[in-house]
A and B are shown apart, each in its own frame.
Chain A
């Protein structure tokens, strides 16, 4: 009976951990997610769904969006003026409304599904 009480207590206590748990990533579900999205978009007739292959960060300078690599010279010049041990400001940019695609983008399909699509 002592064992039972002990185990019951531990069981109750450990349930706390499920509440701050964070979902993990798993590739197996991506194919079904992509299909579900494609199906839902087909039904409602709205924007298309697409898989992403790669994403390159952009830095917005004025009203122009540059790839982070291309803009690094400008940022680098600003950074060279600041001490590395404390927070400092570099050249600020104006706030501009950015363009966002209407396409629903999802992570690429599973290797198995990608192979099927390429055949």
Chain B
């Protein structure tokens, strides 16, 4: 009996350790497959003339994702002049992410990486792409180039962060903050959250409140402290609907390798 309890406790700890920080350093596809896929995503966006676009990936088996969640990570790709380590300057996309910290699941950092890094640990060679209107693209780039995106970052991480307040933040909420800062030309968080509450429809998290409460008790990087009532969070699909409804973005395009 005692052994069983210890075994179960170990299982819990393992479960929790994976809950908020699966390692993206483990590839599920051959490096050349990932590199080709990532380059093709870049070329697709470039052919569309996208200076900035919303990009999403599937980092977990899709069959295990809760209803309504189709992608596990969202960020913003920006057409850039990239200086390589040999000094050569080339053009391509840099991706501006909020990543959960590997060592502290309750915190996040802003990290710039590149398409092959972004797709390195994916479960499927599939990319979600939303191309904002040209005007909004310019404004998004302004927010990022000016460093205002950093003032929109709250490092307190929750996987199911409520986008209607700034108590916690996840990758998708941070992306939404940048989009709204670009739209409304402000970094005033109170104003941004008031506007989000008025116009943005978040994704309901179809996991029972009981499970979520247990999760917040036992798992790092998950809390319901910022929620009242039904738990809702920002998702790639919700951002797509928001932009499309306001004539500010293309419908979602799924690029498959």
Chain A interface residues (CB < 8 Å from chain B): 1, 3-4, 7-8, 10-11, 13-26, 28-30, 32-33, 36-37, 39-41, 43-44, 46, 49-60, 65, 67-69, 71-72, 75, 79, 82, 84-87, 89-108, 117
Q: A57-B94, A100-B46, A106-B117 are in contact. Are A19 and B60 (CB under 8 A)?
A: yes
Number of A-B contacts (CB under 8 A): 293
- Tell me if B189 counts as interface (CB < 8 A to partner A): no
Give the B interface residue count (CB, 8 A): 106
Most buried by A among B61, B84, B205: B84
Partner of B22, one of A23, A28, A52, A103: A23
Residues of A within 8 A of B15 (CB): 11, 14-15, 17-18
- The answer on a CB contact under 8 Å between B91 and A65 is yes
- Tell me the minimal C-beta distance from A11 to chain B in angstroms: 5
A117 CB, nearest partner CB in chain B, Å:
8
Return B102 CB to nearest CB of chain A, in Å: 4
Known A-B contacts A19-B60, A44-B32, A53-B84; the reply to A97 vs B46 at CB < 8 A is yes
In the complex where A7-B5, A29-B23, A53-B85 touch, is A87 in contact with B183 (Cβ < 8 A)? yes
Q: Judge whether B226 is part of the interface by a CB distance below 8 angstroms.
A: no
Contact A19 B64 (CB under 8 A): yes
Among the interface residues A11, A17, A19, which one has the most CB atoms of the partner chain B within 10 A?
A17
A25-B109, A92-B135, A107-B114 known; A98-B46 Cβ under 8 A: yes
Q: Point out the residue from A16, A59, A86, A87 that lies within 8 Å of B51, measured CB to CB.
A: A59
